[in-house]
Structure formats: C-alpha cells, structure tokens
Structure 1
Amino acid sequence: MGSLERRLQAFVKLGHFLRDFRLDDSSSGTSDDEFTRAVERAGSRNGWFTRENLRHALSAWGKELTEENLRTWISDYETPQKDPKVVAIIMAGNIPLVGFHDLLCVLITGHRALVKLASGDTELLPAVIKKLEGFEPELKGSTEFSKGVMKGFDAVIATGSDNTSRYFEYYFGNKPHIIRKNRNSAAVLTGDESQQKLRALGEDIFRYFGLGCRSVSKLFVPEGYDFQALFSALEPFEDIKD
C-alpha cells in the first residue's frame, strides 16, 4: 500500500477534490460526471440524503482532509511498516458518508478494509474509494466490499443500534473490536445564549434531519425559560417541517 506519505497525500488530494466539487452543473468548481452521478444516485435511493445534506457532508470532509489536519492527527500514532491487518468495517447509513472516518483510520495506517455498506448508503463510499485509487494507484485493492458473510479479517469496527450491537458482540467478540451502540446528544441552555449560538444549536438539531448520533435531541433549560429567542433562532430551519 505504499508509504504513509503517499497514503496521506492521496487523502490530501481527495480533500482538494471534495472542496472544489460542485453538485450543480451551473456552479463553478470541479467537474466530474461519474462522481456526480454517484452522488445523485445516493440521493435518489435514500430520501433522507437531500442535495443540501449531500453537499454539506462532502464539503465538510473536504474541509477536514487538509495536509495540516492529517499530519497533526496522525503524528500521535505509530503506523506499521509491514504486516498489515484486515479490518472489517460494518457501517451505519443514517447520514451520508457516516462510515468514512473508520475507513480513513484503517487505510491511512496501512491496513486493509473489508467493508459492509449500510443499505441506505451504498453509492458514496465506492465513488470516494475510486477517486482515492486514482490519486494513489497503490491503494487499489486495499478496500474490499462484502455483500455476504464477512470472512478473513483480523479486527472489527461495527456501528449499529443497541439491538444489533448484541449480535456484533456475539459474532465478533473473539476479535479485537470497536462496537458502537445508540448515542444521543443533549444541549444545556442558561438563557444567556446569543442568537449566533442559538442558530448554531439549530444546526446541531436539524442537520441531517437529526438522524446523526451527535444530533441534539434533548434540551435542558432553566425553569421559566423564555423560548422566544430560541424559536426566533430556529426559524431558518422551518422548511424541515415539510
């Protein structure tokens, strides 16, 4: 899979591509018909993946995948120079590219990924992998997509509900593993928040229709809290009711 430097540069190039990518043909930016078609298929096959949320997810990863960010992050870890492992990744599909971080962790450290895609997000990751392999041919073959029973892996990263986590523990408990269950986020308000902070809270509540594990789904407020300022700050998100 080449050196760490070559793998890192592949992700840097992917970041450049995602920052420049425009989903609308009328916009200036990177033109890539094949990638655009994959993004559009993702939206047509999953109604929760609106064009706005697809744009947001791709843009967010573009902003994260900078050389400075990647070097700072990876500098805290040792990466193997040989004997790569095969890591099975069972991905969630609640928001676009939600499993990309797990894949990034596996590939940039020189390991191989055996990926089971969620039924709700089958288009985006293969398209991203194809771009990565174009930027760094030595990454070809480092990611395999599994549609049946997963075999031949050394470790597991699995994300699912509290119910599926019990199955994950049963089937994968004898391997090194990270198994994620349901998560919910809460916000604590004092009543002194600015409109800017409350608008940012609105983003945390409504982005991806609140389906993310980090989406705020509960508010703690002081007794007698005046909700008018909060409701005013949340008005830009009122279209979500449709």
Structure 2
Amino acid sequence: MNLPQRISLLEKLGIYMRSQDSEWLEAKKRASLENGWFIPPFIENAIEQIAEHWLQRKALEEWATGENIGLENRTPKKIGLVLAGNIPLVGFHDWLSVFISGHHSLIKTSSKDRILIEHLVGKMIQWEPSLQNEMNFADRLTGCDGYIATGSNNSSRYFEYYFSKYPHLIRKNKTSAALLTGTETKEELEKLAEDVHLYFGLGCRNVTKIYVPAQYDFIPLLEAFKKFSWL
C-alpha cells in the first residue's frame, strides 16, 4: 500500500471508531468488563481524542509531510511493539506510527488493554486483507528489526537488556506536575481537573502533583474538581 492508501484506510478507521457499529460497541463493552479501570466514559474519551486528532485526513497528511514520510523504494522493517495497559488504547500511536511509515508490526499487548487494539487491527485487515502480513500479535517478540516498548521502571530494565542489540525506544514510568500561580482562569482550572482525574490518574500525562504559592486559595481549584465528583 502506498501512503495515500494508508491515509485513506486510517481515515476510514477513525470514522468507524466514532460509529455505532454493533461489533465495535460489543468490543468496547468487553474491554470495560475485562478491566474495571476502563469505565465507558474514559473509553469513549480515549476513542474520541484518537479519532478527532490523529485519524483525520488533513492531520495525517500534514504529519506525513512534516516527518517526510515517503514509502517509495523503502524496504519495510519489522517493529516489535510492547504496549502498556494503563489507559484505553494507550499504545495506539506506536502502532499508528509504524503503520503509516510503511513498516510491519509485531504486537505484544498488555492483558489489561487487549480487546480494543486487537479489534481495530482486525478490522483493518478485514478491509484490506493484504495487511495480514504486516500486522500480527504475539506473546513473544522475536526476529524484529527494532523495538518500541513501554512499561514500568522494573520491566524497562529487562527491555533494555533484551533489546540492547537492536534499535529501540523504551519508555518508563512517568507522570506530570502542575505549577500554579493563583492567576489561572476558571477554564484553565477545569482543564487541570481533567488532567488530574481522567483515567483515574493512571496515564503518564496525568498530573499527580500540584505546586502552589504560599497562601494559595484552593476554593476555585476544588470547585473545578467537582466536575469529577462522580468518580
């Protein structure tokens, strides 16, 4: 498949992810039942962000142009992906990056986030059967030309050992912090509330520590946090 064909297929995937297709609805339901942290509102939020920001044709074309992605005269590499499972579809962008650049992926999913990514990749293969040779799942990643792995600080040491002979990108545990001045607007505090509470704070971009000046008035911040009082 050439680059325009891949972009068209990704655009189709984005439309599918926002649809009410019965198979997709069932996959989302099973994902929530299999992992209690994946409550429906957070699954929907992850899907909406992916479909809106990553799978729009214009965004994909601009990304491909900016990264100078061209598939002509390129020999595909096999990239092993070790996906995390802390939030829904957390490893989607790793898979997306491999696919749009014309490489092949061998994917080891987390037991905590298996259903959604397997369903979406399976749907892509259903639409374009030739992709069955480009995207596969495995419990053990061998014979790859490079690796992208995400895990805990402990597992990252094993990744660094096992993948040391190959090009690799390894991500460890991380979280985010917020520094407040006391001059934040209501809208900014509401955004911070999302950064703190979405996905129960389990994402690497979730804010887990907030720094405030002396004599800080917490009332506006606590008011913003009430948006998630249902958790």
Q: Same fold (TM over 0.5)?
A: yes
1:109-140 CA deviation, whole Å, 9 max, x = no partner?
11000000001011000111122224433323
Aligned partner of 1:194 among 161, 185, 190: 185
Q: Which runs of 5+ in 1 are unaligned?
A: 22-29
CA contact (8 A) 2:86 2:202 kept: yes
Partner of 1:25: none
1:127 aligns with 2:126: no
Partner of 2:88: 96
Query: C-alpha separation between the residues in 2 aligned to 1:206 and 1:135?
Result: 36
1:134-176 CA deviation, whole Å, 9 max, x = no partner?
44333232111002x3211100000011111110000001100
Aligned partner of 1:210 among 192, 201, 210: 201
Per the normalisation by structure 2, the TM-score is: 0.95
Q: Equivalent pairs: percent with the same residue?
A: 43
Query: C-alpha separation between the residues in 2 aligned to 1:192 and 1:171?
Result: 48
1:8 aligns with 2:7: yes
Q: Which runs of 5+ in 2 are unaligned?
A: none
How many residues of Structure 1 are paired with residues of Structure 2 in the alignment?
Answer: 228
What is the deviation of 1:182? 1.0
Aligned partner of 1:60 among 49, 57, 81: 49
What is the deviation of 1:57? 1.0
1:47 aligns with 2:36: yes
Query: C-alpha separation between the residues in 1 aligned to 2:141 and 2:187?
Result: 47
Aligned partner of 2:22 among 33, 39, 56: 33
SS in 1 for 2:26: helix
Partner of 2:219: 228
SS in 2 for 1:239: coil
SS in 2 for 1:75: helix
Aligned-CA RMSD value: 1.2
Moved over 4 A (4+): none
CA contact (8 A) 2:2 2:71 kept: no
SS in 2 for 1:222: coil
Per the normalisation by structure 1, the TM-score is: 0.91
1:22-56 CA deviation, whole Å, 9 max, x = no partner?
xxxxxxxx3x2222211111100000000111111
CA contact (8 A) 1:90 1:117 kept: yes
Partner of 1:238: 229
